[in-house]
Amino acid sequence: MDLTNKKLIVERKHKKVYETRDCIIKAFSGEHPKSDVFNEALNQARIEETGLNVPKVLAVEAMDDGWAIIMSKKNGKTLKEIMESDKDNIRKYMDMFVDIQLDINTKSSPLLNRMNLKFSRQINELKELNATIRYELLTRLDGMKKHTKICHGDFNPSNVLVGEDGEVSIIDWSHATQGNAAADAANTYLLFALTDKALADMYMDIYCEKSDTAKQYVQKWLSIVAAQRLSKHIEAEKELLMQYIDVVDYL
């Protein structure tokens, strides 16, 4: 495993992602909790065991002032890049995208973190919302069906790689849980809606048709997943997310 000559490919507030000839290195800053790094590596290892085509965890090591997860490298273009370069065939790619998500949802991992417990914790800690709104959100969450399907948690076209031979792999499993697939679909809808409402609506239509899920059922999750995403404190997303968190519109 050669970690020399690494090239920076992504930089975020608390992490940098490098690539080498055969590895991907996700290096976290010293401020990022050690427990979160090991939990992400554990998530990834559990997903590996399902048989999905994902990068394999090779090591977790101390690096600079923090910790790093070292993974096998998956080659290819992101589905986002492909969609943006061939907009005439956008619906074909969206069909493919939804099929991949539905395949993920057929898998199970009994030891993976439970979605409802994670969402409940995130909403409880969300002091941007008053106690009444938090109560309404938690009541709604408690009333939703508790499933055990694998949910990616950040499923968007930039996390799907397509190789030159057509091989598909799915990356970035840091938010993976077991739970209700409709919640994962609602989260994906929001990720599209943050930049392109028309694309979000196309996704919703295709997902509901292919999964035989009522659109109203996915929409019931929107306020909940918007609240858990608000807990990431991304200022550019706050205005739109608050619109979906207005639970009065959904009750």
Residues 66 and 95 in one domain: no
**What is the tens place of the pLDDT at every residue in 58-80?**
999 998 889 999 999 998 999 99
The C-alpha atoms of residue 174 and residue 98 are separated, in whole angstroms, by 20
The C-alpha atoms of residue 163 and residue 170 are separated, in whole angstroms, by 11
* Angle between helices 222-230 and 238-245 in degrees, nearest 10: 140
Domain edge (last residue) among 42, 72, 102: 72
Residues 131 and 26 in one domain: no
Predicted pLDDT of residue 98? 98
- Given a cut of 80, whether residue 126 has pLDDT beyond it is yes
Predicted pLDDT of residue 250? 43
Q: In the predicted model, what is the mean pLDDT of residues 93-100?
A: 98
Predicted pLDDT of residue 249? 47
- Given a cut of 70, whether residue 2 has pLDDT beyond it is no
Answer yes or no: is 2 within a domain.
Answer: no
Angle 121-123-129 (CA atoms, 0-180°, nearest 5)? Answer: 150
For residue 194, what is the domain's CATH number? 3.90.1200.10
Provide the number of structural domains found in the chain.
Answer: 2
Query: Structural domain of residue 175, as residue ranges?
Result: 77-246
Residues 198 and 90 in one domain: yes
Backbone angles phi, psi at 69, to 5 degrees: -100, 125
Predicted pLDDT of residue 5? 81
Answer yes or no: is 62 within a domain.
Answer: yes
Answer yes or no: is 251 within a domain.
Answer: no
Residues 29 and 126 in one domain: no
Residues 206 and 87 in one domain: yes
Answer yes or no: is 1 within a domain.
Answer: no
Average pLDDT of every residue of the chain: 93
Q: In the predicted model, what is the mean pLDDT of residues 222-234?
A: 93
Q: In the predicted model, what is the mean pLDDT of residues 206-231?
A: 96
Answer yes or no: is 65 within a domain.
Answer: yes
Residues 65 and 87 in one domain: no
Q: In the predicted model, what is the mean pLDDT of residues 130-140?
A: 94
Answer yes or no: is 175 within a domain.
Answer: yes
Write out the H or E segment, with its range, that includes residue 31. Answer: none
Residues 194 and 115 in one domain: yes
